[in-house]
Amino acid sequence: MSVSPRGARVHVAIAAWPWPHVFAPEAQLRGVRLATARWRRPPPDTAPVRAKVAATYATGALARRAAERAGYDDALLLDHRGLLAEATGVNLFLVIDGALHTPVPDCFLDGITRRTVIAAAGRLGIPVHGAPHRAGRTRPRQ
């Protein structure tokens, strides 16, 4: 085992289990309370930010744990510039003057859920600001 994958064989394991809702039903009804995390999403040139990998999950786990200890439901993560990025387990979408606003995914995963919401908004004629910065690409490349 080494940091270098050179000469390593591929081993795959798939685990499946029921995945609970990100927020408890009562939080969903009353509204989710977010604490701004002290942790930030890394600049795109410092981590594989467009890949769904374990390396970037540690930031979210630390942020969520701190938020819950302080009595919040989740943590709001800012990007390396101090702009809105995402919460630890959900994308951010804001409705402002009838348009959908979402952070540009240049330091976090531009995933399936985010793209699905943006596509649905487009089909409904809702203007979207902050759509994928690489339009037309169906899978993020890393």
| C-alpha to C-alpha distance for 142 and 139, rounded to whole angstroms | 10
> Each residue of 72-128: pLDDT tens digit?
999 999 999 999 999 998 999 999 999 999 999 999 888 899 999 999 999 999 999
Label residue 92 exposed, middle or buried (CB < 10 Å: 0-12, 13-18, 19+). middle
Number of neighbours of residue 47 by Cβ within 10 angstroms: 15
Type of residue found at 96: I
Domains within the chain, CATH numbers bracketed: 25-129 (3.20.10.10)
Distance (Å) of CA 127 to CA 8, 53, 82, 90, 121 = 47, 31, 25, 21, 7
Name the band, by pLDDT with cuts 50, 70 and 90, for residue 136: very low
Q: Which residue has the higher pLDDT, 86 or 133?
A: 86
